[in-house]
Amino acid sequence: MSNILEVKFSAKSENESLARVIVASFAAKLDPTLDELVDIKTAVSEAVTNAIIHGYEDDEEKFVSIKCKIDGDTITIAVEDDGFGIDNLEEAMEPLYTSKPELERSGMGFTVMKSFMDDVNVSSIKGKGTRIELAKKINSPK
C-alpha cells in the first residue's frame, strides 16, 4: 500500500521549517523512531535550503516543490526547484564544496543528506533546475 503527498511553497527561508514539519507529519504514518524522524527532517531541511539559496538565490517569487511517497516501510522525498541548476554536479557533491562561500556556507549539505538517508539521488540541468530524491527505510517495530 502506498500513499503520496505533494506540496508547493514560496522559496522563502522561513518555509524551510514548514517543509520539515509537513514531511515529518507524513512520515509519522510509518511509526519512525525519534532518531529516524530527526534524520528525515535534517535531510529535508538541507535539500530545501539548497533549493532556496542555490537554486533561486533567495528569489522569493519562485517555488519549491516536495513530493513524498510511502511505499511499504520506505519513504521517498523529492525536493525540486526550477532554478539555475548545478554547474558541476560531481564537484557539488564533494564535502566542503560551496558555490556561496561569501554566505559562510559549510558545503556539507549533500554530505549531511547522504549520512542521514539510505539513498540520495541528485539530478540537475543547468538553467532548468535540480531534483534531490531522498529515501529512507523505517525500521521501527510496528
Task: Tell me the pLDDT tens digit for each residue of 60-111.
Answer: 999 999 999 999 999 999 999 999 998 877 777 776 556 555 555 555 678 8
User: What are the grid coordinates assigned to 44, written together?
Assistant: 529535508
- In terms of Cβ atoms closer than 10 Å to its own Cβ (0-12, 13-18, 19+), residue 37 is buried
7 occurs within a structural domain: yes
CA pair distance 29, 16, nearest whole angstrom: 21
Q: Does 108 reside within a domain?
A: yes
Q: What percent of the chain has pLDDT over 90?
A: 71
Question: Is 64 among the domain residues?
Answer: yes
Q: Which of 16, 50, 80, 131 is catalytic?
A: 50
**Is 50 an active-site residue?**
yes
> Does the residue 142 lie in any domain?
no
Write down the pTM of the prediction: 0.88
Joined grid coordinates for residue 78: 523529492
Query: Which domain, by its residues, includes 95?
Result: 2-137
Q: Which of 15, 46, 80, 131 is catalytic?
A: 46
Any idea of the CA torsion for 39, 101, 66, 84, to the nearest 10 degrees? -150
Residue 55 has pLDDT above 90, yes or no: no
Residue 102 maps to a domain: yes
- Which one is predicted more confidently, 30 or 112? 30
Question: What is the tally of structural domains in the chain?
Answer: 1
What CATH number is associated with residue 32?
3.30.565.10
Q: Is 33 contained in some domain?
A: yes
Q: Is 3 known to be catalytic?
A: no
Q: Which of 36-45, 56-65, 103-112 has the lowest mean pLDDT?
A: 103-112
